[in-house]
Structure 1
Amino acid sequence: MDRSPAFSTEIDFVLPKGFIDEAGVLHRRGTMRLATAADEILPQRDPRVQANPAYLTVILLARVITKLGSLPEVDTHVVENLFTADLEHLRRLYEKINALDDPDEIAAVAPIATNGFAGQAGGLRTMGEA
């Protein structure tokens, strides 16, 4: 029996600028998975989000980015230290892949994302919005 998902649940991306770690290594290629209900619900309880609702973006991205370059993990510290252009790129990618009505369309997003996705977020739900 084939237990593979009926559609892709992870999307590869390339950051426009990239994250520079403490050793000066540039990390641009990464992978983002589809968000779950828990990814959007649980961060609402975080005191950082309650104090500053804009912090929801940081927590959501830290939860769904599964790989960035050779980093052992992607946490809120990494997301907080991304360049603004990279944060916006990831925010739009998150909205794009999680707002699709047809899961089969996710595969069509990946080539755009890896070539520096710069699409409009118009018509897509806002990150964290139910």
Structure 2
Amino acid sequence: MSGMLQTEFEFTLPGGYVDDDGTLHRDGVMRLATAADEILPLKDPRVRSNESYLTIILLSRVVTRLGGIDDVTPNVVENLFVSDLDYLQELYVRINTRGADVADAVCPSCGEEHEVELHAGPASVDTNESGAPDDPFDDEEVSTASPSGNP
């Protein structure tokens, strides 16, 4: 495996940004954030008057391309669908705090090392008829005997 640090990450938005001409932009690139990316927006008057705007400024700094748009401005990020904004926030956290969206894995059959892509998404939880999560111990017999054999 390569020892090089991956600094840019390709993504595909779940919905996509629709520009003024009606063109849909879904594929993009996000780069790793720098300290300046997190510090400098705090001086922006829009962030000072509304802390929620920090996300908009921050993402506009680290998303380097979105479809045919090479200059992703705060206005572009403001006009993303909420699902796309959530997706980019999760991607930002994943690549900047937990590392890349790929991991090294060893094939249990052949023993070869491979890079596998990690996908963030909802956890899969089996549910019963009421919608509550299934009890994983329902089908198992649970012993209440003590180690000495006495109940």
| TM-score bracket, shorter-length normalisation | 0.7 to 0.9
Structure 1: 5+ residue runs without aligned partners? 121-130
The percentage of counterpart residues that share the same residue type is 50
Q: Which runs of 5+ in 2 are unaligned?
A: 104-115, 124-151
1:108 aligns with 2:71: no
| Counterpart selection for 2:66 from 68, 93, 99 | 68
- Greater fraction of residues in strand: 2
Q: What is the TM-score normalised by the length of structure 1?
A: 0.77
- 2: CA distance, partners of 1:98 / 1:45: 22
2:18, 2:25 within 8 Å by CA — same for their partners in 1?
Answer: yes
1:83-130 alpha-carbon deviations (Å, 9 max, x no partner)? 000000000100111002xx5xx15179445xxx4268xxxxxxxxxx
> How many corresponding residue pairs?
110
- Give the structure with higher Rg (CA): 2
Corresponding residue to 1:31 among 11, 29, 43: 29
Q: 1:39–1:63: 8 Å Cα contact kept in structure 2?
A: yes
Moved over 2 A (4+): 109-113, 117-120
Pick aligned residue for 1:47 from 45, 48, 51: 45
Higher relative contact order (CA 8 A, sep 6+): 1
Q: For residue 121 of structure 2, what is the aligned residue in structure 1? A: 118
Contact 2:37 2:58 in 1 (8 A): yes
SS of residue paired to 2:102: helix
- One-letter amino acid of the counterpart of residue 69, structure 1: G
CA contact (8 A) 1:8 1:107 kept: no
Per-residue deviation at 1:19? 0.2
1:29 CA displacement: 0.2
Aligned counterparts of 1:96 and 1:107: Cα–Cα separation in 2: 7
- C-alpha RMSD of matched pairs (Å): 2.1
